[in-house]
Amino acid sequence: WYATIDIANAFFSIPLAAECRPQFAFTWRGVQYTWNRLPQGWKHSPTICHRLIHDALEKGNAPEHLQYIDDIIVWGNTAKDVFKKGKEIIQILLEAGFAIKRSKVKGPAREIQFLGVRWQDGRRQIPTDVINKIVAMAPPTNKKETQAFLGAIGFWRMHIPEYSQIVSPLYFVTRKKNHFQWGPEQQQAFKQIKQEIAHAVALGPVRMGPEVKNVLYSAAGDNGPSWSLWQKGVGETRGRPLGF
């Protein structure tokens, strides 16, 4: 079971020290203003926000969780357990001065989306809407479109066996020294990687204990090396993949 918590307007919940505010002054329509709260768009805002939320949760002895800036996920064996953990974390955040909107809290549920990744029973999966979007993409007509396609699929490379070897022809046409030429090799790679995305396997769950073995496979091909990490439990022949 899972639940996610997204803090509302987290940056604006953090006041700037009085001596730092002049550094954030700006002029708009001839009038000078300054930020009193941590502004969005400043390169250090995410780091500061993450640290302050982390410190608040640590100080409040928050139950087991995973945090990335203002997004938090909790998990457990039962919905009741997850609800209790989520309630404790929300209370800690409220006492630390952060705001929580009910609409920003999801779960408890057996399946949930966190940081763009779909989680179910401890397994990491590609969301269906992401798969549909990638499968519907048309063949690129220039380097920029090819780079955009590679950017869309690159985040999910852990789910695709021999990813680098499959997409090698696509990277070839994006090189500065090469003229863009979309040939049969690129079209085959484009078609194959979309098929791999559409049928990508779930990764995990990660298991612990002396009876579980981690097995790393590696191979070398014409377009470079490839690897895969698996876990094998008692009685399992192949095991479960953790990443490719």
- Given this model, what pLDDT does residue 61 score? 96
Does one domain contain both 231 and 142?
Answer: yes
Q: How confident is the model at residue 182 (pLDDT cuts 50, 70, 90)?
A: very high
Over the chain, what is the mean pLDDT?
A: 94
Geometric angle at alpha carbon 161, from 222 and 68, rounded to 5°: 125
Report, as an integer, the average pLDDT of 59-83. Answer: 96
- Given this model, what pLDDT does residue 219 score? 86
Peptide bond into 205 cis (omega under 30): yes
Does one domain contain both 212 and 131?
Answer: yes
Give residue 203's identity as a one-letter amino acid code.
L
CATH number at residue 20: 3.30.70.270
Report the number of distinct structural domains present in the chain.
2
Last residue of a domain, one of 115, 141, 171: 115
The answer to whether residue 142 sits within a structural domain is yes
Residue 134 clears pLDDT 80, i.e. is over it: yes
CB 19 within 8 A of CB 136: no
Report, as an integer, the average pLDDT of 151-167. Answer: 95
Q: How far is CA 103 from the centre of its chain?
A: 21
Does one domain contain both 147 and 243?
Answer: yes
Does one domain contain both 107 and 132?
Answer: no
pTM of the shown model: 0.81
**CA dist 123 to 19, 128, 175, Å?**
47, 15, 36
- Given this model, what pLDDT does residue 220 score? 84
- Given this model, what pLDDT does residue 235 score? 85
- Given this model, what pLDDT does residue 243 score? 96
148-157 b/e with 16+ CB inside 10 Å = b? ebbeebeebb
Residue 185's domain spans which residues? 127-244
The answer to whether residue 68 sits within a structural domain is yes
Q: How confident is the model at residue 170 (pLDDT cuts 50, 70, 90)?
A: very high
The closest alpha carbon to 107, from 213, 235, 212, 3, belongs to 3
Does one domain contain both 106 and 141?
Answer: no
Last residue of a domain, one of 65, 86, 115: 115
Report, as an integer, the average pLDDT of 108-134. Answer: 95
Does one domain contain both 109 and 141?
Answer: no
Per-residue pLDDT of 184-238, as tens digits, reads 999 999 999 999 999 999 999 998 899 999 999 998 877 778 899 999 988 888 8
Does one domain contain both 227 and 146?
Answer: yes
The answer to whether residue 139 sits within a structural domain is yes
The closest alpha carbon to 112, from 81, 154, 75, belongs to 75
Does one domain contain both 96 and 142?
Answer: no
Last residue of a domain, one of 115, 136, 153: 115
Does one domain contain both 102 and 138?
Answer: no
Query: What is the Cα–Cα distance from 180 to 69, expressed in whole angstroms?
Result: 39
- Given this model, what pLDDT does residue 222 score? 77
- Given this model, what pLDDT does residue 224 score? 76
Residue 129 clears pLDDT 90, i.e. is over it: yes
Geometric angle at alpha carbon 142, from 151 and 197, rounded to 5°: 35
Does one domain contain both 111 and 179?
Answer: no
The answer to whether residue 11 sits within a structural domain is yes
